[in-house]
Amino acid sequence: MVEEYREFVREMREKKLAPNLPQVKALFLGWFEPLKKAIGNKKQKLQMSRKQKAIYGFYVDMLLADKMAVIVMHKIMALMAVGNETGCVTLVQAVFQIGSAIEHALPK
């Protein structure tokens, strides 16, 4: 999916077709680069204690920011699609789903 988004972003920029995209793809296109940069910046600035590094460091270092961005976008959109009547998703639910997806995406 990461490569697909990279290619998609490149094509849309070259052809200047971004305004003609379907709504969801337009949202993803608008979210992907900023989210990837934010995750990358946060990973660089992350200062963990020894205990935190032992617990979380493995996960933080194993996936690139672009893969994490794709996982976050897809999980949040999936949760919103099946959300409750208020159109909201609880933070706990989102964190659990994203964390679980990241664990499954880690190289074995």
In sign, the C-alpha dihedral spanning 30, 73, 34, 4 is: negative
Q: Which two tokens stand for residue 64?
A: 């690139």
Are 59 and 106 within 8 A, CB to CB? yes
- pTM for the complete prediction? 0.71
With beta carbons less than 8 A apart as the criterion, state whether 89 and 76 touch: yes
CA atoms within 13 A on the CB side of 42: 13
Q: pLDDT, tens digit, for every residue of 43-67?
A: 777 766 777 767 766 667 788 889 9
pLDDT tens-digit series, residues 2-45: 888 778 777 777 777 665 667 677 778 888 999 999 988 887 77
Question: Reduced to 3 states, what is the DSSP secondary structure of residue 72?
Answer: helix
Domain boundaries, the chain: 2-105
